[in-house]
Amino acid sequence: MTQLSSLILLIALTCLGGVLLSAWLTRSVDGNAHVINNAGSLRMLSYRLLAEVPVKEEDQAVFARIRHLLWQPEIKSAADNAGLKPSLQALQQQWLQIIEPSLRTAQNREMVKTQVAAFVDNINKLVQTLDNRTTRRLEQIARMHFLLVIVLIAELLLMRAWLRKRVLLPWRALMNQADKISLSDFTPRVAVKGSDEMAQLALALNQMTGALSQSYGLLEQRVLEKTATLAQKHDELRFLFEASQRLQGNQPLNERIDGVLTLLTFVTPLMSPTLNAGPLPAADAGEHQLYWPLRPAQPERGYLNARLPSSIQLTADQQQLIVTLCEMIANTQTVTSQQDYRQQVALMEERAIIARELHDSIAQSLSCLKMQLGYVQMQPGLKDPHTVELLAQMRQQLNRSWQQLRELLTTFRVQLSQPGLLPALAETCEEFTARLGYRPELDWQAAGAAFTPSQALHVTNIVREALNNVARHASASKVKITVKCSANQVCLRIRDNGRGFVADSVASQHYGLAIMHGRAQALNGQFSLHTVPGSGTRIDVSFPLITTDGDNYDASNAFTD
């Protein structure tokens, strides 16, 4: 780089020297053109005065103009630069001593014509001398410029040769190596001799290529690891998306959760994941069972259980994925529970409105009929046995209709304060404890089962009707209510140790049994009654847990029970 700087400095100095020399030569002829122009003016003014002889007063300005032109600084400077100062002084003296006095005193032109011609000739000689000198100076400038161009071309050729050898060829070698590096080829090396900057750059590039070769190998390994990690994260995100879609589906909650847990086995090494109710158990190191609470703040409200081979450990991302899934399942359960509760509330409000309308219309009409029938029966002239018997049958039928209506209104006024079948059955048992004198036993074996609001209402009313019969007719000291759920099949059993009865003798007269049978049909299930006098009564109801069209029973068929 020092040699390149020297070449550039040499070229710059050559150019600067040429410029300075040109400036000096140009300055040496500076003003010659102006002097030549003024010399022409002197000739013209001299002949003008000659033409005016004898001169007049108004010609004094011409004399002043000639004196000004002869003694102006520009002509003096040009004469000094050209070495013509004596010739200029002689010309000035000729004007002062000969030409001007002669012109002023001459009476005709012939007297001064020769003198004026001599004066003009001297002016022409001075001008010719200046012109010749200017021409020589310009020729010198041209020759100097030509020589300067030759020198510059030689210097440029020298610089080109040096740049090609010391810069261009090494630079091409460096670029070729850079191109190969860009293609992930780290084997070539650049051989540049010398100790200048290009050689140092080649050495640095060779060292960098070696370091890149090592780093590239490490980066390839890291890329493979990151690619595998990103693929795993992609699978996890896709799993979370599909899990969210499944949990928001229309299938029963148990089916949605089972489908999500099945997907979990494809993105994690977990085996047989299951969802369980109840508090979180202690970890079992022997079988390597793992547990995750659905709600960390409430571990008693269910957990996820899975088995993990002892030779495998879950990564932090997999742990976070499982925790996130637990949160999603818990949120889905909460949302489903809230939706069920809102449906129950809406259904209860609608039933309460219907109950009020029935009470205000049909119940009052039946009461009025009973009063009118009682008035007819109390008439003293009513003695026909057939009419008396007929009126008695009418009163009996009217009382039965009144009783059926009361039971229907009681059913319609059932209120569930909490969502879900288990809280509803617990409230029902608490309600009948005072009437029975003991608390009915509730055996709940349907943990995790998702009952629809309609199913929960039907089952609750069946249990209420059964407990009402126990309180009124059974004289039992113990009642047990069992709810089981297996393979999406629900079994409800209500059993007491009361006095029992003959089923065929009362089935046609007991409206409550018809109500329970109708509700079992609305659940797409089966209703069976088992009773023996003196041995208690057992009622069995079985129905599928999967939601069917029968769940619409409350909205369309409940009023025809």
Digit-coded pLDDT (tens) for 290-348? 888 888 887 777 888 888 887 888 888 888 888 888 888 888 878 877 777 777 677 66
- For residue 372, the model assigns a pLDDT of 76
Q: In this predicted model, what pLDDT tens digit does every residue of 478-505 receive, in sequence order?
A: 999 999 988 788 999 999 998 887 766 5
Q: In this predicted model, what pLDDT tens digit does every residue of 208-238 receive, in sequence order?
A: 887 878 887 888 888 888 888 888 888 888 8
d(CA 377, CA 367): 15
d(CA 112, CA 51): 11
Task: Specify the 3-state DSSP secondary structure of 46.
Answer: helix
Burial classification of residue 245, based on how many CB atoms lie within 10 Å of its CB (0-12 exposed, 13-18 middle, 19 or more buried) = exposed
Q: How confident is the model at residue 407 (pLDDT cuts 50, 70, 90)?
A: low
Report CA 501 to chain centroid distance, whole Å.
Answer: 72
Q: How confident is the model at residue 3 (pLDDT cuts 50, 70, 90)?
A: low
- For residue 539, the model assigns a pLDDT of 93
- Assign domain 1-171 to its CATH architecture: Up-down Bundle (1.20)
Q: What is the percentage of the chain residues whose pLDDT exceeds 70?
A: 83
Residues 121-143, mean pLDDT to the nearest whole number: 79
d(CA 480, CA 115): 164
Q: How confident is the model at residue 416 (pLDDT cuts 50, 70, 90)?
A: low
pTM, whole model, 2 decimals?
0.42
Q: Which residue has the higher pLDDT, 401 or 121?
A: 121
Domain residue ranges of the chain, discontinuous segments joined by +: 1-171, 240-336, 416-549
pLDDT at 550 exceeding the cut of 50: no
CATH topology match: 1-171 vs 416-549: no
Task: Output the CA torsion sign for 172, 174, 180, 181.
Answer: negative
pLDDT at 51 exceeding the cut of 50: yes
Given 1.10.10.10, 3.30.565.10, 3.30.70.2740, 1.10.3720.10, which CATH number is that of 416-549? 3.30.565.10
